[in-house]
A and B are shown apart, each in its own frame.
Chain A
Amino acid sequence: MEGVQCDYLSELDVVWDRSETLTEKPFHYCPGCGHSVMNRLLMEVVQELGIQDKTIGVAPVGCAVFMYHYMDIDMQEAAHGRASAVATGIKRILPDRFVFSYQGDGDLAAIGTAETIHTVNRGENIIMLFINNGIYGMTGGQMAPTTLKGSITSTTSSGREYDRHGYPLDITPLISQLPGASYVTRQSVDTAKAVRKTKKALTKAFQFHMNGGEGVCFLEIVSNCPSGWKMTPIESNEWLQDHVFNHYPLGDIKPFPK
């Protein structure tokens, strides 16, 4: 590992290293944020599958806007909400490439809802990653479409109320109803076990397209935002387990077609 000057380390086996598909640029994400884990997982999977030269990613407007700094692959940065339309344009022009979009809940389920639904409905052969942290992280913690009842945000100072702000939009089950969705799953990255499950789901999604599978693979990651939630990373993960997963239950919603 570059930068590490301890001689005795060289005598040990390397058991963990930065994926070659990740650049050396340090992440800008807040400590404990799920975006970091997901950025890393994505690149691990791309490396393990040997598809770095064939993968093109689309970054959102949101906290992950700079993900192209960390990923050593060709990438485009989309306008707020339009990542799946941009990914559609790329995939239609370069059908033998593996294309993914990566979006937050404001991006995918508020401003970009129409693009989300219609990209899935056309059955584009792309992977759509949806990082649901229940808040607008990048703009300073406003209410998101997915924000749960009672949650205090900078635009719901006394908590989200259904009659005033509407209900949390549970978009993933809706997506799963569309014939264009081939695989729909909801995972998390709050524990080591969850990270492994998410990685497995992501790997299967890429393999599905590598093996000629058609249609959208849609992966929601129910994630945290320690800064926006005003919690420590550990508190935020406990909050997920105690209060969020019962509203957004984890697991496959639509398994791969047989």
Chain B
Amino acid sequence: MPEKQLMKGNEALAEAAIRAGLKGYFGYPITPQSELLEYLSRHLIDRGGEFIQAESEVAAINMVYGAAGCGKRVMTSTSSPGYSLMQEAISYIACGELPCLLVNVVRGGPGLGTIQPSQGDYFQAVKGGGHGDYRLIVLAPNSVQEMADFVFKGFDLADQYRNPVLILADGALGQMMEPVTFPDYNPEDNLVDHSDWATQGKPASRGPNVITTLHLEADKMEAVNLKLQEKYRTIMANEVMIESIQTEDADLVLVAYGLTSRIAHKAVELARNDGLKVGLLRPKTLFPFPSQHLAVLADQVTSMMVVEMSAGQMVEDVRLAVNGKVPVYFQGRMGGVIPQPDELLKRIHQVYSSSSTQVNS
């Protein structure tokens, strides 16, 4: 039986990456993710990987590009301003279909902002972020345990789809300590052979492997795009992950991911104590987004309420999925403020009564 350890989210993520067979880490310090970089600086080299503290996030992500192009498991981690700096190369990585793991331990913005937790980078994470039509697979953990679990899942998905995977966490998940158990995972059993496309040195038996994202003729570039879109559709069909809490009989369903899903969960418990039929749907994958699940729920409930630490970003995707069938309310805090269960409960009571009057009238 694997034993439980008490760890910070950032450190659990770093330890999981080593256990997942990490061969290269390239990063730059920024709060609130620095423990990740520090942990890997202490442990990765002794356990079979390369570590570089780069001169900038721009350099770090371009090192990831080069290293991922060799077909080995590599990653970087950063927080919001650093993630913004990486966008050009992430677009190249997505277009070049290079498998790798990215981590954004989000802090409050815009600008230099605050080191307090936030979910204000949702648009950037799931809609692209850099230039051109591309998508990352975006995983949203809500516990230290999932900070670890999603690393294994993330590397497996990255290898399977030849697509960069982003773990979208936040400062609180990175910093808080919780018990974590590492699964039995042997990287050797899960590695994918990338030698057919990766740049590893050209043997006489094959032509050169070239990683490029330049296709000057419009029809060739469109063909690249069509292939990417086809892959994204497969991912959307197969890889949605959700957690559903007391939605079966719910009139009102909260939708929240990451840290806010835990606060929303608490608010659901409080509301149930008050006799209100409230549930929670938590997307674990933000891309692919659980639009189907939400569309089905929309036929059952009288309203939904999205909770985010942002001005309202994921709420747009929920509204698209629900397509006007029921009202979708929003409750959010910004700038690093974490919403509290009692403020959610208050809003739940308001929404619940107004929705039921709507339905009754």
Interface string of B48-71 (1 = CB under 8 A from A): 001010111011101111111110
Chain B residue with Cβ nearest A101: B66
Is residue B218 within 8 Å, beta carbon to beta carbon, of the partner chain? no
A94 partner residues in chain B, CB cutoff 8 A: 70, 200-201
B72 partner residues in chain A, CB cutoff 8 A = 93
CA separation between A174 and B202, bound complex, in Å?
35
Q: How large is the interface on B (under 10, 10 to 19, 20 to 34, 35 or more residues)?
A: 35 or more
Nearest chain-A residue to B55 (Cβ)? A118
On whether the beta carbons of B58 and A82 are closer than 8 Å, the reply is yes
For the complex, give the distance between the alpha carbons of A68 and B210 in Å: 7
Q: Kindly provide the distance from the CB of B30 to the nearest chain A CB, expressed in whole angstroms.
A: 17
A87: contacting residue among B58, B66, B201, CB under 8 A: B66
Q: A93 with B67: in contact, given A74-B209, A75-B211, A82-B59 (CB under 8 Å)?
A: yes
Cβ of A196 within 8 Å of any chain B Cβ, yes or no, is: no
Residues of B within 8 A of A65 (CB): 214
Contacts A74-B199, A76-B69, A82-B89 known; A89 to B208 CB distance under 8 Å? Answer: no
Which of B55, B59, B67, B209: most chain A Cβ within 10 A? B59
Q: Which residue of B lies closest to A65 (CB)?
A: B214
Considering the complex, give the chain A residue whose CB is closest to the CB of B89: A79
CB–CB B59/A115 < 8 A: yes
**Shortest CB–CB separation between residue A10 and chain B, in angstroms?**
26
In A235-256, the 8 Å CB interface with B consists of none
Query: Which residues of B11-44 are within 8 A (CB) of A?
Result: 23-24, 26
A86-B199 CB under 8 A given contacts A75-B210, A75-B211: no
> What B residues does A90 contact at CB under 8 A?
66-67, 69-70, 199
Residues of B contacting A79 in the complex (Cβ-Cβ under 8 angstroms): 62, 65, 88-89, 92
Q: Which one of B55, B67, B210 lies within 8 Å of A115 (CB-CB)?
A: B55
B24 touches A89 (CB 8 A): yes
**Chain B residue with Cβ nearest A98:** B201
B213, CB-defined interface residue at 8 Å: yes
Q: Is the CB of B200 within 8 A of A74?
A: yes
The contact string, 1 if C-beta is below 8 Å from chain A, for chain B 196-212, is 00011111100111111
B74 on interface, CB distance cutoff 8 Å: yes
- A122 interfacial contact with B, CB 8 Å: yes
The CA-CA distance from A66 to B200 in the complex, in Å, is 19
Stretch at the interface among A52-60, A129-137, A180-188, A213-221: A52-60
The answer to whether residues A114 and B59 also contact, given A79-B89, A86-B66, A93-B74 and a CB cut-off of 8 A, is yes
Contact across chains for A93 and B23 when beta carbons are under 8 A apart = yes
Contact of A89 among B66, B200, B207 (CB under 8 A): B66
Interface residues of A in 114-130 (CB under 8 A from B): 114-115, 117-118, 122
B54 proximity list for chain A (CB < 8 A): 85, 118
Q: Is the CB of A115 within 8 A of B74?
A: no
Assuming the contacts A56-B201, A87-B66, A93-B72, asked whether A118 and B208 have C-beta atoms less than 8 A apart, the reply is: no
A68 near B208: Cβ-Cβ < 8 Å: yes
A92 touches B50 (CB 8 A): yes
Per-residue B-contact encoding for A83-105, CB less than 8 Å = 1, 0 else: 00111111011100100000000
Cβ-closest chain B residue relative to A61: B214
CB distance from A163 to the nearest CB of B (A): 30
User: 1/0 contact trace for A59-75 toward B, CB 8 Å?
Assistant: 10000011010011111
| CB–CB B63/A88 < 8 A | yes
CB neighbours (8 Å) of A78 from chain B are 62, 65-66
B201 and A86 contact, CB distance less than 8 A: no
A122 to B88, CA, bound (A): 24
Smallest CB gap from B68: residue in A: A89
In the bound complex, what is the Cα–Cα distance between A117 and B69 (angstroms)?
23
A122-B59 Cα distance, complex, nearest whole Å:
13
For B74, list chain A residues within 8 Å (CB).
89, 93
Q: Chain B's nearest CB lies how many Å from the CB of A47?
A: 12
Contact between chains at B52 and A122 (CB < 8 Å): yes
**Which residues from chain A contact B212 at a C-beta distance below 8 Å?**
59, 68, 75-77
Point out the residues of chain B lying under 8 angstroms from A73, CB to CB: 201-202, 208
Q: Do A76 and B55 have beta carbons less than 8 Å apart?
A: no
Instruction: Say yes or no: A56 contacts B199, CB within 8 Å.
Output: yes
Smallest CB separation, A103 vs chain B (Å): 13
The distance from the CB of A2 to the nearest CB of chain B, in whole angstroms, is 17
Q: Tell me the minimal C-beta distance from B74 to chain A in angstroms.
A: 7
Q: Cβ of B201: which chain A residues have Cβ within 8 Å of it? A: 53-56, 73-74, 94, 97
Q: Count chain B CB atoms within 10 A of each CB in A68, A79, A114 and give the residue with the most.
A: A79
Known A74-B199, A76-B69, A115-B59; contact A93-B50, beta-carbon cutoff 8 A? yes
Interface residues of B, Cβ cutoff 8 Å to A: 23-24, 26, 50, 52, 54-56, 58-60, 62-70, 72, 74, 88-89, 92, 199-204, 207-214
27 A–B contacts, CB within 8 A, in A order: A53-B202, A55-B201, A56-B200, A56-B201, A58-B66, A65-B214, A72-B207, A72-B208, A73-B208, A75-B199, A77-B210, A79-B65, A79-B89, A82-B59, A85-B58, A86-B66, A86-B69, A87-B66, A88-B52, A89-B63, A89-B65, A89-B68, A90-B199, A93-B23, A93-B70, A93-B74, A97-B201
Given A85-B63, A89-B63, A117-B55, 13 new contacts (CB under 8 A): A68-B212, A73-B201, A73-B202, A75-B210, A77-B212, A79-B89, A79-B92, A82-B89, A86-B65, A89-B62, A89-B64, A89-B70, A114-B59
Among all A-B residue pairs, the 5 with the closest Cβ atoms? A89-B66, A86-B66, A89-B67, A89-B63, A85-B62
